[in-house]
Amino acid sequence: MPTLDAPEDRRRKFKYCGKDASLRRQQRMAVSLELRKAKKDEQTLKRRNITSFCLDTPEKPAKGVAVSLNLGEIIKGVNSSDPVLCFQATQTARKMLSQEKNPPLKLVIEAGLIPRMVEFLKSSLYPCLQFEAAWALTNIASGTSEQTRAVVEGGAIQPLIELLSSSNVAVCEQAVWALGNIAGDGPEFRDSVISNNAIPHLLALISPTLPITFLRNITWTLSNLCRNKNPYPCDSAVKQLLPALLHLLQHQDSEILSDACWALSYLTDGCNKRIGQVVDAGVLPRLVVLMTSSELNVLTPSLRTVGNIVTGTDEQTQVAIDAGVLNVLPQLLQHNKPSIQKEAAWALSNVAAGPCHHIQQLLAYDVLPPLVAVLKNGEFKVQKEAVWMVANFATGATMDQLIQLVHSGVLEPLVNLLTAPDVKIVLIILDVISCILQAAEKLSEKESLCLLIEELGGIDRIEALQLHENRQIGRAALNIIEKHFGEEEDESLTLLSQVLDQDYEFIDYECLAKK
């Protein structure tokens, strides 16, 4: 039976029990994986260029002359020594690769065109040819990992990085796009781009006069250089990137803000050292402002980043609190999008996992009314996160803070959620109720609390749970009834206890940790 004074080893097993805030917070980080899986398509890893744009350069074929080539002619043209034929063949291949449905990426790769296109990237006398080759390689790299590998193994990374210094803006931008697709494939190619010294060249391109579409591409590529773990980007790369990301956070364009925030969310998705690098860069005040954005593509990644940060140390969480996150998170519990409510509840549950002075700050920012509202009326996926917040709050709170929690009206929705079809959540609620009852006993208020629980229909629900098909729930419910509502134990209760004791294994609280 959970107690307020559980032994240390017992407390450390349960995800939210006791005062070890750093442990509770680390264990809560498991939830972030589930959240990320649900959001994995919110930022595009790779993009194909399907626009009908072409350079107007001298070696371009005469206007009005349409060039139509079959695959054999493309192969012959690409391997020609005539720059005009090379251009025509490469442009035709690029157009094939730019069609919206079923682009023939595999066909072009198997035709052996990649090595020759990589050579064209080096043709500084023919920027239009460079552009078409970079565009074609961009679209090939937007495909599967195998197709991206074909571009990398064709030797494209270094020539593309060299094109970042091209005087032709369109060529330069297309090279940025291609590198973004390569980096977005995964940590292996991301690190290949980084090790070839791409970051300084990319950062050198950022300027106030840069066309907005170009800056968007740069920001997106930088975000892909922050993406993926196992391993994370190297420390030297992160140190190079953070000042630029802070600068991009000051922009007003929503796409740039979105990708800059996603980049920071990737960098904070890890150990406390990683989180500390981002916090020390001074991004939190701006992130708090962006959390008030009406645009979902900005709000979502800024909230995600802040949620990651408060999984860190108490000190890192305090920096977030000092930056004003508690001005915004309670409001986001009332957002019209359940996905935002869920992430806000997750972030608040990690604040509640901290020491009692963090819990006091939650109270100071009046977080309990919107929390109770979500527990009553939110979608179940949001209610689950809210239950975790209550659990963290209850098990880390002082007696006075627990009293305020009870007075907020939290027991009514918790009792109603005892019928939820989720074993984990029901067990947590039973543990919270037990915790509150034991606190009330210490304050000599147990009788009035028991009456309140009875008025809310709690006793009936807890008694019904004694017969739950899950033995852990049955035992937890029986323990509450025996300890707090069973002063005159009858024969049937004794028999039920004996039945539940048969082959019963005590609750392994580690199994309650969210996956």
pLDDT at 21: 54
Express as a percent the part of the chain with pLDDT over 90: 80
Query: What's the whole-number mean pLDDT along residues 120-143?
Result: 98
Closest residue by Cα to residue 307 from 273, 258, 341: 341
- Give the CA angle between residues 253, 333, 4 to the nearest 5°: 135
pLDDT at 514: 35
Q: What is the CA radius of gyration of the chain?
A: 29
pLDDT at 411: 98
Q: What's the CA dihedral at 211, 213, 218, 223 to 10 degrees?
A: 140
Question: How many CB atoms are closer than 10 A to CB 169?
Answer: 13
Residue-wise pLDDT tens digits, 308-347:
999 999 999 999 999 999 999 999 999 999 999 999 999 9
Q: What's the CA dihedral at 139, 260, 239, 270 to 10 degrees?
A: -90
Distance CA 415, CA 300 (A): 31
Query: What's the whole-number mean pLDDT along residues 472-488?
Result: 90
pLDDT at 190: 98
Closest residue by Cα to residue 49 from 125, 143, 114: 143
The pair of three-digit structure tokens given for residue 18, joined into one six-digit string: 């006791």
Q: What is the DSSP letter of 482?
A: I
* CATH topology agreement for domains 69-194 and 206-323: yes
Distance CA 38, CA 63 (A): 48
Confidence of residue 40 (pLDDT cuts 50, 70, 90): very low
Min mean pLDDT across 221-225, 424-428, 500-504 is at 500-504
pLDDT at 35: 43
Neighbouring residues of 272: CB distance < 8 A, sequence distance ≥ 6: 312, 313, 316
Residue 46, pLDDT above cutoff 90: no
Domain layout of the chain by residue ranges: 69-194, 206-323
Residue-wise pLDDT tens digits, 163-203:
999 999 999 999 999 999 999 999 999 999 999 999 999 99
The residue with greater pLDDT, 26 or 464, is 464
The pair of three-digit structure tokens given for residue 51, joined into one six-digit string: 């626009």
pLDDT at 501: 53
Query: What's the whole-number mean pLDDT along residues 362-368?
Result: 98
Residue-wise pLDDT tens digits, 208-250:
999 999 999 999 999 999 999 999 999 999 999 999 999 999 9
Distance CA 514, CA 498 (A): 31
Chain mean pLDDT for the chain: 88
Query: What's the whole-number mean pLDDT along residues 414-423?
Result: 97
Helix locations, 353-470, DSSP H = 356-364, 368-377, 380-396, 399-407, 411-416, 423-442, 446-455, 458-465
Query: What's the whole-number mean pLDDT along residues 441-468?
Result: 96
Confidence of residue 66 (pLDDT cuts 50, 70, 90): low
pLDDT at 13: 26
Q: Say which CATH class 206-323 falls into.
A: mainly alpha
Element spanning 161, H or E: helix 157-162
Is 134 within 8 Å of 174 (Cβ atoms)? Answer: yes
Question: How many CB atoms are closer than 10 A to CB 121?
Answer: 25
Burial 254-272 (b: 16+ CB within 10 A, else e): bbbbbbbbbbbbbbbbbeb
Q: Say which CATH class 69-194 falls into.
A: mainly alpha
